[in-house]
Amino acid sequence: MQKIRNIAIIAHVDHGKTTLVDKILHSCSIFRDNESTGELILDNNDLERERGITIVSKNVSVQYKDVKINIIDTPGHADFGGEVERVLKMADGVLILCDAFEGAMPQTRFVTQKALALGLKPIVVVNKVDKENCRPEEVYEQIFELFFNLEATEDQLDFQVIYGSSKQGWMSTDWKVPTDNIFPLMDAILENIPPAPIQEGTLQMQITSLDYSSFVGRIAVGRVARGTIKENMPVSLVKRDGKIVKSRIKELYTFEGLGKVKVTEVSSGDICAVVGIEGFDIGDTIADFNNPEQLEVIHIDEPTMNMLFTINNSPFFGKEGKFVTSQRLRERLYKEMEKNLALKVVETESPDAYLVYGRGILHLSVLIETMRREGYEMQVGQPQVIVKMIDGVKCEPVETLIVDVPGEVAGKVIELVTQRKGDLLIMEPKGDLQHLEFEIPARGIIGLRNNVLTATAGEAIMAHRFKAYEPWKGPIPGRGNGVLISMDKGMTTAYAIDKLQDRGRFFIDPGVDIYEGQILGEHIRDNDLVINITKGKQLTNMRASGTDDNVRIAPAIKFSLEECMEYIQADEYIEVTPASIRLRKIYLTENERKVNGKKFVNQ
């Protein structure tokens, strides 16, 4: 039997998980000496590289001292918590990574709680000890306290701690004595993480993630919990609802380095990829053909937010996208639901619109951005939090919000958060920053980040996580200003924009095609204003002194997709196409808006 260790790496976003996996891969000689690999090897899709974050968990394996170590790299954003929850089932231990300055952040707490509840053995890695102002001892104390508060067992509280810098490629048991390699961490994994248990008996394997190949279709990935799985073996697929489907395994692969290697059989404890099973979902169990026994179904926390996805019905419909029909939109959303467990799609009364439930704005925006790059064209509405009736009381999701800011602007942040029904719980110094903790309704966080960053000149560090459902906190003020709406269809002119600059700030440059009902900018007052910026200058053969000055236009404000999602109100849509993102009113003509305006007043 091959000696195997299965570990998941969990941490808050930007604490260095993917960088650490890079260094482990390099130090275990996965690559040839002359091979060029670049950085963040595992963040291999375009969106992950552009944003510098991990979105989908990935599996790799390395050999160290004749032991195979399966490593699962997980996302750090709370919005992708569903990814972490399901892959922890494949691990026997976890590396909990912490920044030596920031300490245990909200997402660290969230995934650590899940890992400890599953009984996994932790190793704590205090990373980035080369940073200025770092405080490794304090962070160690903080993590011990966190474990204690999360009701860790005595064995889990007796954790090994390793200090180091993933970026510089060293780890050590003492942060004041740097080494020149990361082998102290690898040795700690072998000593502290229990070997994958060998369980004899009939086959049991839970599908915890999906892979896809254009040659063989969907591939089931999971860990063999009991028995042995073999090529060409007849099996039973036990669905989440207990239904049993008979099937046969065509091919088996195990993970080696960054790729997969074909094998004939896999024993309990190892992670493998199975080809040939049809119609499976995450959480299903591959079991013995004659006596199928189901493993406990993976429980994923509920989504906290929803958005309306609908087909694009603007005047520019079909100009830029390949997939524009409601049938295509429906197929794509349901396909996403198969692998994205924290996502839920519900059909509405309209055949062209779907309510998509997710974990947060980032979770939904990554889905929209991915679809947009695939050639889909659609419109999305304002994100809404999910309200529940609990014991006859209207309740809404409340989040814990943590903000680290320079002391002189802490007052501005507190003011912005309390306006949105946030309560200040903790205020304490943290290095040269002020550490603030709030409880705030999830509704209040939508649109808050931009305001906080503006008020603090971009110096605030914000993080939040779902806490619980609590009674409704009352109305929260929305956007302060109205918008500038186009009166006509045509091309914008510099002359018209220049003449209307004192009315507000524009989102549109000159020389852009626009349509009636499109949102062109933000009004300086709180009401909406209909304007015409397609008007050109009347040309005559008369010249007047002073009127032919050069046009001076302030640069247009460009929103990212998330900023658009936080900006729009209930009576507005974002039109998303592969080439552009536009804001528009749901009702395009002024007459329709007057007739239907009352619908949105109470929202």
73 burial level (CB within 10 Å; 0-12, 13-18, 19+): buried
DSSP-derived letter for residue 375 is: T
DSSP 529-585: EEE---PPPPP-S---TTSSPPP--PPPP---HHHHHHH--TTEEEEE-SS-EEEEE
> Binding residue per annotation — 19?
yes
> Binding residue per annotation — 128?
yes
> Binding residue per annotation — 58?
no
> Binding residue per annotation — 16?
yes
8 A C-beta contact, residue 220 and residue 266: no
> Binding residue per annotation — 589?
no
> Binding residue per annotation — 164?
no
Coil, helix or strand for 318? coil
Which candidate, 328, 335, 334, 332, places its Cα nearest to that of 312? Answer: 328
8 A C-beta contact, residue 118 and residue 156: no
Q: Report the alpha-carbon distance of residue 165 to residue 98 in Å, rounded.
A: 11
Coil, helix or strand for 412? helix
Backbone CA torsion sign across 93, 98, 100, 105 = negative
DSSP 249-296: --EEEEEEBTEEEEESEEETT-EEEEES--S--TT-EEEESSS--PPP
CA atoms within 13 A on the CB side of 541: 0
8 A C-beta contact, residue 394 and residue 471: yes
How does strand 160-165 pair with strand 251-256? unpaired
For the stretch 138-141, contacts whose Cβ atoms lie closer than 8 Å and that sit 24 or more positions apart, written own/partner, are 138/103, 139/98, 139/99, 139/100, 139/101, 139/103, 139/104
> Binding residue per annotation — 15?
yes
8 A C-beta contact, residue 150 and residue 116: yes
- Dihedral of the alpha carbons of 519, 520, 524, 525, in degrees to the nearest 10: -30
Which candidate, 50, 26, 27, places its Cα nearest to that of 38? Answer: 26
Residue 309 φ then ψ, to 5° = -105, 130
Q: Report the alpha-carbon distance of residue 571 to residue 586 in Å, rounded.
A: 6
DSSP 169-229: TEEESSTTS--SSSHHHHHHHHHHSPPPPP--SS-EEEEEEEEEETTTEEEEEEEEEESEE
> Binding residue per annotation — 404?
no
> Binding residue per annotation — 130?
yes
Residue written as tokens 């892979």?
A: 211
8 A C-beta contact, residue 240 and residue 283: yes
67 burial level (CB within 10 Å; 0-12, 13-18, 19+): middle
- Enter the tokens of residue 247: 């099937």
8 A C-beta contact, residue 170 and residue 181: yes
> Binding residue per annotation — 322?
no
Coil, helix or strand for 331? helix
Q: Report the alpha-carbon distance of residue 314 to residue 327 in Å, rounded.
A: 18
- Binding-site positions for GTP read 14-19, 127-130
- Binding-site positions read 14-19, 127-130
